[in-house]
Amino acid sequence: MTMLFETFTGILETLNVSRAVIDNWSELLFIGLLILFSLLTYWITKSYLLKKLEVYILNNKFKFDDILLESQVFSRTAQILPAILIYLGATSLPTYSGVIQKVMGLYLIVLTVYITDAVLNAVNSIYRTYEVSKQRPIKSYLQVIKIVVYIFGFIGFAASVMGKSPVYILSGIGAMTAVLMLIFKDSILGLVAGIQLSVNDMVRIGDWIEMPKYNADGDVIDITLNTVKVENFDKTITTIPTYTLISDSFKNWRGMSQSGGRRIKRSLHMDMESIKFCDEKMLKKFERITNLSEYINEKNDEITKYNSALDADDLIQVNGRNLTNIGVFRAYVQHYLKNHPKVHKHMTVMARQLAPTEKGIAIEVYCFTNDTNWANYEGVQADIFDHLIAILSTFELRVYQSPSGYDMQKMGCN
């Protein structure tokens, strides 16, 4: 390079060019060569070294380096060497060294911030490959670190442009604390909320939550410093401010999933005009139903003893106790649920009678399936009620429903 400069200088001297112009053109030539050399270095690094590194990473058994590659950590780091070469090479330039070094210094500050951002993204992606990330997400904390990095990057950038010490910039920021608090209000609230959510284990990625205020009903797919993303069951995305999970109420269905049981709570409304005492013919028919013969025998003994003690006239049924078709049906439902293979045996299993209403009297099924999968749960629930509705006629009961057009035709209404 020295011979090149001497040749270039000699040519200019033969043309009787002044020394000042020769020095100026020499520096410009040096700058051009420096930039060309830096670009060549970057091209070699990116086209050869990074390609070799990429092939190695994609063919080894480790996963973390694949994530570093996808997060552009290596491609951004490759830009450091050319910038440093220009920065150091500029020291040989008496005229333009200050300007070039300042520009490269600013570029290195920005590049350092971008590299740090990429590294933090990679850290989050690597952490999410572990199961613990669903219970203790760290994305919100990494976002706080990013904010700090960007603030320090801005301070360093501003100090370099102004030619002042970073302490000088910090003193100015101190006077703007109130403004900064206002600007970063949501981030501060989100940070506090994120810590509380994590410490109290209130919500995790993958949890099914309901928050009617925001029309959110689905699975949590992301928790950040400022927002929680919920993928609803219709595949829409609801974004909720993180701090509202602390300030407002929401329902988390994680307990249901962890317990291994999902509740069925549904009622069958009976026409009250179909309810009656059981006669001997009905009881004999009911005794042939699996699991009911023992119940009927026990109840008959109990009722007989009660009526005998009361010395009631058994010719009139209202004088004593008697079995009813709805009571026997409720007992059947109870036994049916307890013996159902898809009903959780270690959780509440109950068939209960609810208060009469204008829609009749209801028998409510209250139990838990042993499969929490939504589709399977709905299938079990449907099977149970398909069966119960189909056997109502066996107990001479009628389900209540509002009159339809078909009912009107049967009644002869036009």
Fold of 161-259: SH3 type barrels. (2.30.30)
pLDDT in tens, 356-393: 999 899 999 999 999 999 899 999 999 999 999 999 99
Could you give the CA distance from residue 90 to residue 188 in angstroms, rounded to a whole number?
43
pLDDT in tens, 39-71: 888 888 888 888 888 888 788 887 888 888 888
Measured in degrees and rounded to the nearest 5, phi and psi for residue 207 equal -70, 145
What mean pLDDT is predicted for residues 89-95?
71
What mean pLDDT is predicted for residues 207-223?
92
The SS3 assignment for 50 reads helix
Could you give the CA distance from residue 71 to residue 156 in angstroms, rounded to a whole number?
25
pLDDT in tens, 255-293: 888 888 999 999 999 999 999 998 888 988 988 887 788
Could you give the CA distance from residue 111 to residue 73 in angstroms, rounded to a whole number?
11
> Which residue from 229, 225, 158 is spatially nearest to 192, judged by alpha carbons?
225
The chain-wide mean pLDDT, for the chain, equals 83
User: How is the chain split into domains, by residue range?
Assistant: 2-129, 161-259, 262-410
Q: Which residue has the higher pLDDT, 384 or 319?
A: 384
Could you give the CA distance from residue 142 to residue 239 in angstroms, rounded to a whole number?
19
Q: Which residue has the higher pLDDT, 281 or 139?
A: 281
For the entire predicted model, the pTM comes to 0.58
Task: Yes or no: say if 140 and 191 are a contact pair by the CB < 8 Å rule.
Answer: yes
Which CA distances in Å does 363 have to 263, 272, 351, 381? 16, 12, 7, 15
Give the pLDDT score at 224.
Answer: 83
